[in-house]
Amino acid sequence: MNISRRRVIAAGAALSLGAGRQNKAGAPGERTFPKDFLWGTAISAYQSEGNNTNSDAWIRENVKPTLFKERSGDACDSYHRYAEDIAIAAKLGFNCYRFGIEWARIEPSEGSFSNAELDHYAQVLETCRAHGLKPVVTFNHFTTPIWFAARGGFDEPDAPDLFARYCAKVAEHLGHLMHRATTFNEANIQYLVRFFAPNAASNPAAKAMMEAAAAATGSPKFASLAFSDPAITTPLLQEAHRKAYAAIKAAQPHLPVGLTLTTQDIQTTGPQSNADKWRDRLYGDWIEVARTHADFIGVQTYTRFLVDENGIVPPPPGAEITDAGYEFYPQALGNTIRWAHAAIGKPIYVTESGIATDDDARRVTFIDQALASLSDCLADGIPVHSYLYWSLLDNFEWTSGFSKHFGLAAVDLKTFKRTLKPSARHLGAIARANRI
């Protein structure tokens, strides 16, 4: 019941539950990656920074009743400890760092922009550059300012103009420090919500939370994407992306601007038409938007879904299930890369790939198998330019709170000490060698 892709995937999985090539450039069995390949991790502002009190999600997690198991509070305190996090990523051997900027901090009230917060994110970007990390910046990772949600969010006809205005301001101040930029994180997230939870908006607990949020903000229009009608919001989101793309390009013509999608691997237990049908429902018109208004496509893959003509079906008997509730299937990444290449035809960046588990050995296996499938795509000539693991830290996983651990580093929520897991050093060694 929240707009996190990982949470929605887990909900879908819960419903369903009722070898590689030799690279000529390397040693036998060894596969090398392109010289300029980007290795790194991804985090989001709300999930790691802490105390995003001007964000719509802060309202939803703090009202009563709420769907959130616990509050984000200080989260990982990355707002203050960003330099430490960036240094960890660089020391591990990465050359790229994907993070989000929080719209609610930059525009805390409508039309009023905070120079102090713009300066803060400039410092984050400069710190990345100083450590040799190329920053990939997400302008919107699910959350919006309270004032925007209270006026109706992306249900309102002028929402695209408001979002583009924010993106223009950010690009003017910060765009020269970015390596790549994306507008929305997983722009098709609503389709994923409707794929697995078609009655999410009418769920009594969700309705009660949204009504409480509206009362807390004194607005009858308080809106969140997970609980809005895609027939209304999707065209507005698409227009918002197009206008934001143009605004960022106007401010920084040479900055590549892309679009990330939730790209789970759809497989069928019957005729191929079943997979095609549900794949169409997952992506809809976003494919055409990506073709015309994106310099690259961000692939964000975690698992596969088996479908028949009616929807998802259970994983095979004995299939391993991750702590997030969906199937352990790292090779899904190669399949979604191939789909994105065929369907969209733009340069591909893997902007998220990861697993929730407390068994770090399984995280190592997941990374190895995901990278093997990515390497196969490179061997076939598909232009893949990055692998960014989700996430650097065990952070706030929306309504699940801090219970789902995707991170390469554990975080003590009292002292904020970061403790690297073996998987962090494993992926870092791969990045340094640029081969598997």
Which has more pLDDT, 12 or 379? Answer: 379
Cα–Cα distance, 436 to 427 (Å, whole number): 10
Please compute the mean of the pLDDT values over residues 390-416 and round it to a whole number.
98
* Mean pLDDT for the stretch of residues 203-228: 93
Q: What average pLDDT does range 346-373 have in this prediction? A: 98
CA distance 174 to 61: 30
Cα distances from 429 to residues 92, 114, 330, 407, 435, in angstroms, run 7, 40, 19, 17, 9
User: Would the pLDDT of 23 be above 50?
Assistant: no
- Work out the number of other CB atoms within 10 angstroms of the CB of residue 24: 7
Output the six-digit token pair for 287: 């494919």
Pairing mode of beta strands 348-353, 409-411: unpaired
388 and 353 in contact (C-beta within 8 Å)?
yes
- Domains of the chain plus CATH, in order, are 5-433 (3.20.20.80)
Q: What is the pLDDT of residue 192?
A: 85
Query: What does the pLDDT average to over 167-173?
Result: 98
Tokens at residue 312, please?
Answer: 């998802």
Site of tokens 């679009």: 259
Could you tell me the pTM of the whole model? 0.94
- Contact (CB, 8 A) for 408 and 364: no
Q: Mean pLDDT lowest for which of 148-152, 156-160, 225-229, 373-377? A: 225-229
CA–CA separation, 160 and 219 (whole Å): 20
Whether the per-residue pLDDT at 195 is higher than 80: the answer is: no
For the chain, give the mean pLDDT: 93
Asked if residue 65 has a cis previous peptide bond (ω within 30° of 0), the answer is yes
Specify the amino acid at residue 58. W
pLDDT tens sequence across 291-340 = 999 999 999 999 999 999 988 899 999 999 999 999 999 999 999 999 99
Give yes or no for a cis peptide into 391 (omega within 30° of 0).
yes
Q: What is the pLDDT of residue 160?
A: 98
pLDDT at 21: 38
- What share of the chain in percent tops pLDDT 70? 92
Block residue for tokens 């588990």? 357
pLDDT score recorded for residue 3: 47
Q: How far apart are CA 252 and CA 314, in angstroms?
A: 47
Q: What are the tens digits of pLDDT across the range 42-71?
A: 999 999 999 999 999 999 999 999 999 999
Residue with tokens 């003509």: 309
pLDDT in tens, 298-312: 999 999 999 999 888
